[in-house]
Amino acid sequence: MMHYFCPETTLYVFMTRALFQYTMNNVQMQCSQVAKVNDRLEKWFPTHDVMDVSTVVYLQYWLKSTCESSFPTHMDVLKKFYYQFKKLGSSQTWIPLDLNANILDLQTSFFKLTLMSNVQWAMDQPMDLNPIFRLWKNFTSNALLCVQFSKFM
């Protein structure tokens, strides 16, 4: 027999075969529950590369020297994920698209130009307001901008 330290009681307990088997079964059950939760989360949330695309709305992205070269790649990832038909679960039902990749393509240049032109302005303002909030508040208050890059709003 082995001694096992139980942190909950701060006592040493004898590790019998029965206790060992019980512990192993309990750990396996918990691991299977964690795997189920992980599967659900993977279905609910997009993959890492899709989540990474969301960085284009942040000021820090546009301050990097690589923003112009990485932007087209981000847009391709976005289109592959959101602008293709998808099946609903394991059924044969297809989810219709309410996003139009052509409109996104038309708006991409204007979005990029607008962000690149306004990032420094937002960063130079007093820090009484979060710069990203200030920038997007400015954008959303302008009806023309809301139309010109509506797919990014």
Same-domain pairing of 103 and 37: no
Q: What's the domain count of the chain?
A: 2
Q: pLDDT of 15-67, one tens digit each?
A: 778 888 888 899 999 999 999 988 887 777 767 788 888 888 888 889 899 98
Same-domain pairing of 53 and 40: no
Same-domain pairing of 76 and 120: yes
- Domain residues for the domain of 117 are 48-152
Same-domain pairing of 66 and 110: yes
DSSP characters over 49-117? HHHHHGGGGSHHHHHSTTHHHHHHHHHHHHHHHHSS-EE-TTSSPEEPP---HHHHHHHHHHHHHHHHH
pTM exceeds cut of 0.85: no
Same-domain pairing of 11 and 75: no
